Each structure stands twice: as C-alpha cells, then as structure tokens.
Amino acid sequence: MVFIKSLIVAVLAVVAVKANVLQQSSRTPAACAYVLPNIPGGFSQRRFADFSSNTPSDNPATVLGTYNIGISNYGPVPSTPLTHTFVPENVAFGNGYLGLKTSAYASGSVQSGEIVTNDVFMYASVRTVLKSTATPGIVEGNFFYLDVATGAQEIDFEILTTTIFSSNNPLVPPGIWATNYNNTGSRINTVSTIPFTFDPRTDYHEYRIDSFFQWFGTTTNFYIDGVRVAQHAEPSTTPTVPGHWIWNSWSSGDVNWSMGPPTADGIYQIRSIDLYTGYTSTC
Ligand SMILES: *[C@@H]1O[C@H](CO)[C@@H](O)[C@H](O)[C@H]1NC(C)=O
Ligand SMILES: *[C@@H]1O[C@H](CO)[C@@H](O)[C@H](O)[C@H]1NC(C)=O
C-alpha cells in the first residue's frame, strides 16, 4: 500500500513536471510581447497579480507563489529606536486586497509585513494599486532593492502614514517619498517628496516606478495614476545591478522617519501588482 501510494505520487510528480514544462514553453514570451504607451522598447514578461476577488480564506503564500513572489520571515531588522521583524502572519488577504500589516506595538520588535519577488531584474515597470492605512506611524514601501556587499541599492516609493499631509518635523516633509538610494560609502540619495493631491487612505491609486536606467539618460521615473511625479537622473544614486521588488509595511518609532510605533494595527492594502520585466530597447 505504501509502495503503491508512493508510485502514484511519483507518477503524479512526472505529470506535474511535464505540465510545467509545457506551460512554460507555451508561455515562452516574445521579446516585444508587451509594448507600453510612452515607453521606448518593450517587455517579454508580465505578471499581473489581481487580488480584487481574493478573500480572507485564501492562502497568501499559494497565491503569491504563482507570481514568483514570496512572504518574508526574518528579523529583528536593525532600526532605531525599535527593531522591526517581518512575520508571515502579517501578510493576509482581506476582501479584495492583499494586506501587509504593521501590528499595534506592544513590546520588543515591531511586527511587520513584507512580500518580495523571488527573482531579480533591472529594467522594469512596476504598477501597484494600493490604499494606505489610516493608522499613523507606519512606512509603506514599494521598491527595488538589492543588498550588495558594500550596501543596498534602492529605488523607492514610500508613504509615511503620520506625515501624509502635514509634518511638525522639518526633516520629514509631508507627501510621498520618491528616492534613489545608494547606501554604500557616504550613503547618498536622490529624493523628492511629492505633496498628495488626494487622500491615499480613502481610495486605491496606482503607484508606478519605471526603472529604465538608460531611458532619457540615466533615470528612474515615478508615476501616480499615470502622471509622472518625479524623475531621477543622478548616476551615483542609480542602481547598477538587478534587484528584487519589495512591498512592505513596518515601523521603527523613529521621530525622524516613520514616527510611531503604531498604537493600532495598520494594514497597507494592495489591490493589484502589474509587473513588466524582460526589457528590450528596440521593438
Ligand atoms: C555609490 O556611491 C559610492 C561612493 O560612496 C560610489 O563609489 C558608487 O559608484 C556609487 N554607486 C553607484 C551605483 O553609482
Ligand atoms: C532627529 O534628527 C535631529 C536633527 O538631525 C537629531 O538631533 C536627533 O538626534 C534625531 N533623533 C533621533 C532619535 O534620531
């Protein structure tokens, strides 16, 4: 019985492998399969993760796995004054969204939520439709990241939920942050804070980063609802290597950044992720 069972499992495994190979080859993309408005060239791959019909009973690891996105489980991550820890329990579906939670702070490390692409890439157009939490004291990130030996390279959109419209700290102007970070050596960055023209906590909006490092010179382009709101062209802060894409919600209680920590749970709601990779400059 045990033998038969394992034989069946083995046969099923072979079928699964075959199906997988077939699926991949039938999906083998043409270099210019996706040509997008106002972007020179095209992309061979698209991942469109639409969570608008997901419900709390859906398993986030299973659903995200189909898009080659994983759930983070690590920490405490050094930050001051409080560390933060990414726990899988803080990634869960709500009705029509994927929620990344920062938990109401009790003690110890701030319990936070994060998802990350398993693969790395460089040229990409990443469009996230999201709604911010109404809970103050949280950082909501959507960014390119690679930790190299000398430090991290990043391209970030970040919403700080305490300082959406106003701030009493001149180091933390209100608005959404669009930043290229070079965390090596002198830790330089190129940053814009863009005032919100709407309340990001009441509706879903599309936050998009086009990381075409040689488009319009050396640039990173940030868009909200299809309108370009920032463009960085400083070579010394532009990443040079492929990296992961990360979405996260966290806090460190830093008066010069996230503020908080939150006194209530805050959930960063992602309705969809539309991710184009496999860039070709001529189509
Ligand atoms: C980041 O800055 C360091 C100097 O601090 C520089 O040597 C390096 O080339 C920069 N990285 C990039 C990607 O430009
Ligand atoms: C916040 O920034 C101010 C001004 O640079 C600095 O004096 C202060 O020590 C910082 N506070 C913390 C907790 O890092």
Calpha distance 60→88 (Å, rounded): 9
- Nearest CA residue ID for atom 6, ligand 2: 256
Give residue 109 CA to ligand 2 midpoint distance, Å: 21
CB 170 less than 6 A from any atom of ligand 2:
no
Name the one residue in this structure whose structure tokens are 């405490």. Answer: 76
> Exposed e or buried b for every residue in 251-283, given b needs 16+ CB within 10 A?
bbbbeebbbbbbeebbbbbbbbbbbbbbbbeee
- Predicted confidence at residue 215, as pLDDT, reads 65
Q: What are phi and psi of 263, to 5 degrees?
A: -100, -5
Q: What residues contact 26, with CB distance under 8 A and at least 6 apart?
A: none
Quick check: helix, strand or coil at residue 94?
strand
- Predicted confidence at residue 183, as pLDDT, reads 86
Q: Are 156 and 178 in contact (CB under 8 A)?
A: yes
Per-position pLDDT tens, the chain of length 283: 333 333 333 333 333 333 333 343 445 569 999 999 888 889 999 999 999 999 999 999 999 999 999 999 999 999 999 999 999 999 999 999 999 999 999 999 999 999 999 999 989 999 999 999 999 999 999 999 998 777 789 999 999 999 999 999 999 999 999 999 988 877 889 999 999 999 999 999 999 999 876 666 678 999 999 999 999 988 888 888 899 999 999 999 999 999 999 999 999 999 999 999 999 888 8
- Predicted confidence at residue 40, as pLDDT, reads 85
Q: Are 240 and 180 in contact (CB under 8 A)?
A: no
- Predicted confidence at residue 239, as pLDDT, reads 85
Tokens linked to 204:
């879903």
- Predicted confidence at residue 86, as pLDDT, reads 98
Give residue 241 CA to ligand 2 midpoint distance, Å: 32
Q: Which residues line ligand 1 (CB under 6 A)?
A: 153, 182, 184-186, 188, 235-236, 240
Q: Are 239 and 246 in contact (CB under 8 A)?
A: no
- Predicted confidence at residue 6, as pLDDT, reads 36
Calpha distance 94→86 (Å, rounded): 19
Give residue 256 CA to ligand 2 midpoint distance, Å: 6
User: What percent of the chain is helix, strand and coil (3-state, nearest 5)?
Assistant: 15, 45, 45
Strand pairing report for 110-117 and 84-86 = parallel
Ligand nearest to the CA of 252: 2
- Predicted confidence at residue 281, as pLDDT, reads 85
Q: What residues contact 73, with CB distance under 8 A and at least 6 apart?
A: 86, 87, 88
CA gyration radius, the chain: 20
